[in-house]
Structure 1
């Protein structure tokens, strides 16, 4: 009986704490800061030209005509998906009010591994929009059968369709060699020719979204001719535009919970990172989440800086997933050499980092690899965009060495690597590692 009472008390306590967290949150409508939210047109900032162009291209759908195909390109986080989705939502509402059978079908190609899988995703999406059965299995039938089913659903249920293919350049498919036609080329050819060939009764337009300005150069000649899109170019946001974007979403928060410097700081930090609005919004949201975790009733600048550090750590962790212990040790030795250096070095000589690596493998009881292996591991880290390198000479007869500079904060790299259980013992030897780092740095420069 006592156990039942204790369990009931614990259950009540959890419920009370959950409800208290909701009541005391700094957020009013957190959904406004979710990256996949389709926002109202009055929240769109700094994209007037692109908005006007896309409206003019899609307007014919409301007049019973076929819109042109479109190619939206520009850096990540510059509003491509935001604008096309916002316009299509409005067209959908107007078409429905007129009794027109208009549809928008969207897939994100980042999660699609092949041409066959892309077609099946289109069938799934079209069937859901039309409220009909998919009609074909995911496997066990040919891609042509799936494509025919897709055309059948569209012809029977819609008179005008816009197909949005987000991040289309990532749909490469299974290619035996780099010269093979990418899967997106075949897909664009099939979709853009469907109406002309009578495969679909209504009008079909394709809006392809990519970060790659050279995307059209990689298309097969037939696909390029058939697709023949209207280009809509998106440039980076500047800090003022990012501020305006965040101001139009500040009602995601409760009244009077934002410190005055929150929006300018979030915008400035995102502007440094190539003007990516997604990162600005993500930073703005994460700052509030940190304030909630800390049961603060205000969001301060330190929450934004904490959010930026968490974002960098998450990005670094993603980049490091799958690295072997030896690769992580090589990276860790180089990063701690940067963090612990009393000379505040921007670039770490490979000679120093390798000596630190040798010390680390000794205290962690790990097999020691050669200097050539260390350099090979660091070359791989460079391909992962974790470091940059350049060769340096030390004077006549002294040879050449490499110097490594971290793209993100080396302290974040150290903290992230120390979460790996194979490296956690190094965390407890900080003072000893620091002395080894500076001894090796002093030896390096005094010997030059």
Structure 2
């Protein structure tokens, strides 16, 4: 490419990047990061939990050890938000007093073993203290890593709080159902560190979990030494979600949000167990869609499109690991309510299996038995794609299963059409409609 052409291309790219920044509907997009540490005036519906955590952590500023805490409640109900907001303020106040307060945060979701969890704590403590980890990830014992962790804490902090998010997922490699889960061993070690003289300062643990029965799974020694103060987080309702988004409205430019955007985003999230993270994600994605389309306002259609994208992304992630036969069984079931001339919210398995048989012929793939189809659909239930119910068709007509989709069947079908074996199906809606309605009429026959 000639120098002049290269320079012209560079200017074009730069111009388009600058235009995208200048014309964005966002003013401060960081406010719509669900993990952002936010000011107290943006916290909604969590006054009691905020008061409790402030009370439990106040001893840090008095040179005393705070208690261990267990924060539990469904995802997106403010556990991380509140503990992080309070810890941020303690960091600032402790610094002003000349005290060394440390916050060591670790998400346990992807940690597979007790050893890996200890090393992650070493890494995070080293970053917080501004030093080298000092031990390798492998090749040394877990005890050596744990001692290095205690050494970093003793050398650099007067008081530390360790935040273990999604702690219930740190089960470790349990070879036997009776084996102690990794989180039980870790909580025992951390909660006894000061008492056993492993560190010179104060250490406390805040464990965050979705499981209200978490304490029941702890080993007796761990339960006794951890002995936390409980802070319970319930689902947000639609009004609280709306208030949360209202307090983040200034993430957008003045006047770009049409009426109804915030109530609609809140309503969608309220349907999904009152998850504030999902409400904020939806609110942000609607703006991203408006930016992508170079539109100057965020409208309800952007929220609906964002919700559909979110459903499709979630469904796609869940479905990626399914075999072609399982995908085909699910697809055959999903297209029935989409193309049926009869209003079918629940899909009889007999209709869906016959549609499946037709699809295998269209795609020239192996046709599995009815029992195999039913087995695949039972697995789809375990993934929470569908629910099923047995229904009778009247005296002497037998019993059949009917499937109802958790998500919009249209979203499920569109997601599955991305599979290479289903590309041809997408292009022939007329044939699909004909196949579905032939089987529907045949099934119901004289049973209308």
TM-score where L is the length of structure 2: 0.98
Deviation at 1:197, TM superposition (A): 0.8
Q: Report the alpha carbon displacement of residue 10 of structure 1 after superposing the two structures with TM.
A: 2.4
Match of 2:298 in 1: 299
Tell me how far apart the structure 2 counterparts of residues 10 and 326 of structure 1 sit (CA, whole Å). Answer: 47
The residue matched to 1:315 in structure 2 has which SS?
helix
Paired position in structure 1 for 2:415: 416
Give, in angstroms, the shift of residue 13 of structure 1: 1.5
Q: Distance in 1 between matches of 2:421 and 2:34?
A: 35
Deviation at 1:8, TM superposition (A): 2.7
Cα distance between partner residues in 2 of 1:393 and 1:192: 57
1:160: which partner in 2? Answer: 159
Matches within 5 A, 1:49-68: 49-68=48-67
Q: Distance in 1 between matches of 2:446 and 2:321?
A: 38
Match of 2:353 in 1: 354
Query: Secondary structure of the equivalent of 1:281?
Result: helix
SS for the counterpart of 2:67 is coil
The CA distance in 1 between the partners of 2:383 and 2:421, in whole Å, is: 21
User: Match for residue 177 of structure 1?
Assistant: 176
1:4-23 equivalence runs, <5 A? 4-23=3-22
Q: In the TM superposition, what is the alpha-carbon distance from 1:434 to its structure 2 partner?
A: 0.8
Partners in 2 of 1:3 and 1:356 — Cα distance?
Answer: 58
What is the Cα deviation at residue 5 of structure 1? 2.8
Write the distance in 2 (CA, Å) between the matches of 1:179 and 1:408: 37
Q: CA deviation at 1:340?
A: 1.0
What is the CA–CA distance in structure 1 between the aligned matches of 2:156 and 2:394, rounded to whole Å?
75
Aligned to 1:387: 386
Partner of 2:266: 267
1:240 Cα deviation after fit = 1.1
Q: Deviations over 1:261-314 (max 9, x none)?
A: 111111111111111100110010000000001110000011001100000001
Number of aligned residue pairs: 447
Deviations 1:5-52 (A, max 9, x none): 333322221221111111100000101001221111111111000000
SS of residue paired to 2:259: coil
Residue equivalent to 1:239: 238
Quote how far apart the aligned CAs of 1:166 are: 0.2
Q: Secondary structure at the match of 2:196?
A: coil
Partner of 2:439: 440
- Deviation string, structure 1 residues 215-265 (Cα, Å, up to 9, x no partner): 011111111111000000001111111111101101100000000111111
Deviation at 1:347, TM superposition (A): 0.6
Q: What is the CA deviation profile of residues 381-432 of structure 1, one whole-angstrom value per residue up to 9, with x for unaligned ones?
A: 1111111111122233333221110001000001111111221111012110
For the pair 1:277 / 2:276, whether they are aligned, the reply is yes
Counterpart Cα distance in 1 of 2:8 and 2:352: 55
- Answering whether residue 116 of structure 2 is matched by residue 117 of structure 1, we say yes
**1:318-344 Cα shifts (integer Å, max 9, x gaps):** 110211101100000000012111112
How far apart, CA to CA, are the structure 1 residues paired with 2:398 and 2:177? 38
d(CA) in 2 for partners of 1:400, 1:444: 13
CA distance in 2, matches of 1:255, 1:328: 45
CA distance in 2, matches of 1:374, 1:167: 36
- Deviation at 1:447? 5.5
Match of 2:103 in 1: 104
Q: Secondary structure at the match of 1:363?
A: helix
- Between the aligned partners of 1:127 and 1:77, the Cα distance in structure 2 is 29
Measure the CA separation in 2 of the matches of 1:152 and 1:5: 59
Aligned to 1:89: 88
Give secondary structure in 2 for the equivalent of 1:162. Answer: strand
* Mapped partners of 2:317, 2:34: distance in 1: 19
Q: Distance in 2 between matches of 1:398 and 1:179?
A: 48
SS of corresponding position for 2:304 = helix
Structure 2 counterpart SS, 1:155: helix
- TM-score, normalization by structure 1: 0.98
Name the SS for the 2:420 alignment partner.
coil
The aligned residue for residue 339 of structure 1 is: 338
> How many Å separate the matches in 2 of 1:260 and 1:167?
36
- Following the alignment from structure 1 to structure 2, what is the Cα–Cα distance between the partners of residues 309 and 133? 45
Once the two structures are TM-superposed, the CA of residue 69 in structure 1 deviates from its matched residue by 0.4
Question: 1:159-192: per-residue Cα shift (whole Å, max 9, x none)?
Answer: 1110000000110110113322111000100000
Aligned mates of 1:441, 1:5 — CA distance in 2: 65
Cα distance in 2, alignment partners of residues 338 and 428 from structure 1: 18
Q: Deviation above 6 Å: which 4+ runs of structure 1?
A: none
Residue in 2 aligned with 1:397?
Answer: 396
SS for the counterpart of 1:111 is coil
Report the Cα distance in structure 1 between the residues aligned to 2:420 and 2:3, rounded to whole angstroms: 38
Match of 2:126 in 1: 127
In structure 1, the partner of 2:44 is 45
